[in-house]
Amino acid sequence: MNVLDVLDKDLVKVPLLSSDKKGIIVELVDTLVKAKGYSAAQGEQILDAVLARESLGSTGIGGGIAIPHAKIDVIEEVTMVLGISRESIDFDSPDGEMSRIFFLVLAPSKQASAHVELLASIARSCTSKIFRRLLEQARDSEEVIHLFME
Amino acid sequence: MAVPFKHIVVYIDGSESSMTAIMYAIKLAKEHDSSLTAVYVINTKALSELVKAGIFVAVERDEYQKDLILDADRYLHHAERLAEQKDLAIETVKLEGTVHVVVKELLKEKQADLLVLGGITDIRSRREELASETDRMMRTAPCPVLIVRDDDDIWFEFEA
């Protein structure tokens, strides 16, 4: 599994409007909940799982990227929400750089293999500084999709 | 290479298309009187990449490694049950590493005549890092490769 397998226009939000780490995570989860029609209770469960993972250590990986993620059986298949912020957000990245590109990755517990492969695919996709810059400058979700499909 | 095939290897990764591939491979092995090996690869390369990139913390890596082993056992057991339904002996192999690399080694070691893979996706991006492991296996296999389209007919025929 790779990024293209899960990239969905309805699960891309540009721009994100929140100005802090928790707000960004909430906004990404809300995008998923609205797109997939999850209930408020399911949304809460997803948010709790992502915040619990975040409490183990930040998922800001440097280079302006953060990949909050969690295993959660509320969802049925590996899912990714991609958000771009115009504002730089402090995500406690190891390089001290602020983040503007956010991938929320969720997977049911019985799809560990696909979950791991997707996370690795995101990490590989974002190694190019030029690609990261282009993503940061994307005007809307269609442009984000186009960048990955090029 | 032998025709009809003497030793078939099928790669499974838990995806629906790889489940179709195992059914097809079982039917093929039965008809050709071939031996069949099902292989599942625990993608430790991807796990290492995640730790290196700082996406996984140590405790998380250990937890996911256990999950991946459970995934492997579950899907290989499923392959055994499917083969049993058709009264076919099957060897299951659980490997660790970079998927296309260890599968290539296995094909050589087994002197396999054929690698059976689940459906490959359309080329959607020129970006090499977005190529799937199935694509890589198809390109690097030292033997003929059969790509099985994920088709309901195969499921119906297998169950018949």
Instruction: Name the CA dihedral angle for B122, B124, B128, B132, rounded to a multiple of 10 degrees.
Output: -40
pLDDT at B134: 81
Is it the case that residue B130 has pLDDT exceeding 70?
A: no
The tens digit of pLDDT for each residue in B63-117 reads 899 999 998 999 999 999 999 999 999 999 999 998 999 999 999 999 999 999 9
pLDDT at B54: 86
- Helix or strand (DSSP H, E) at A79: strand A79-89
Locate B97 and state its tokens: 């590493």
Contact assignment for A112 to B71 by CB distance below 8 Å: yes
From residue B92, give the alpha-carbon distance in Å to each of A20, A106, B52, B136.
49, 30, 31, 22
Cβ contacts of B125 on chain A, cutoff 8 Å: 4, 148-150
The total of structural domains in chain B comes to: 1
The total of structural domains in chain A comes to: 1
From residue B108, give the alpha-carbon distance in Å to each of A6, A22, B24, B88, B112.
33, 51, 22, 23, 7
Could you tell me the residue range of the domain that residue B112 belongs to? 7-159
CATH number at residue B49: 3.40.50.620
Q: What is the mean pLDDT of chain A?
A: 92
Minimum CA–CA partner of A3 in chain B: B130
CATH number at residue A76: 3.40.930.10
Is it the case that residue B120 has pLDDT exceeding 70?
A: no
Instruction: Say whether A116 sits in a helix, a strand or coil.
Output: helix
What's the ipTM? 0.78
Cβ contacts of A2 on chain B, cutoff 8 Å: 130-132
The tens digit of pLDDT for each residue in B24-63 reads 999 999 999 999 999 999 988 888 888 888 889 888 888 8
Q: How far apart are CA A150 and CA A147, in angstroms?
A: 5
- Whether B154 is covered by a domain: the verdict is yes
Contact assignment for B14 to A111 by CB distance below 8 Å: yes
- Whether B115 is covered by a domain: the verdict is yes
Q: DSSP assignment of B47-111, as one string? A: HHHHHHTTSS-HHHHHHHHHHHHHHHHHHHHHHHHHHHHTT---EEEEEES-HHHHHHHHHHHHT
Q: Which of the four pLDDT bands, split at 50, 70 and 90, describes residue A117?
A: confident
Contact assignment for B47 to A62 by CB distance below 8 Å: no
How many Cβ atoms are within 10 Å of B7's Cβ, its own excluded? 18
Contact assignment for B71 to A110 by CB distance below 8 Å: yes
pTM (two decimals): 0.83
Cβ contacts of A123 on chain B, cutoff 8 Å: 49-50, 53, 55
Cβ contacts of A40 within 8 Å, gap of 6 or more: A33
Q: How far apart are CA B30 and CA B34, in angstroms?
A: 7
- Whether B1 is covered by a domain: the verdict is no
Could you tell me the residue range of the domain that residue A64 belongs to? 3-149
Chain A, 4-43: which have a CB under 8 Å from a chain B CB? 4-5
- Whether B2 is covered by a domain: the verdict is no
Minimum CA–CA partner of B57 in chain A: A57
pLDDT at A72: 93
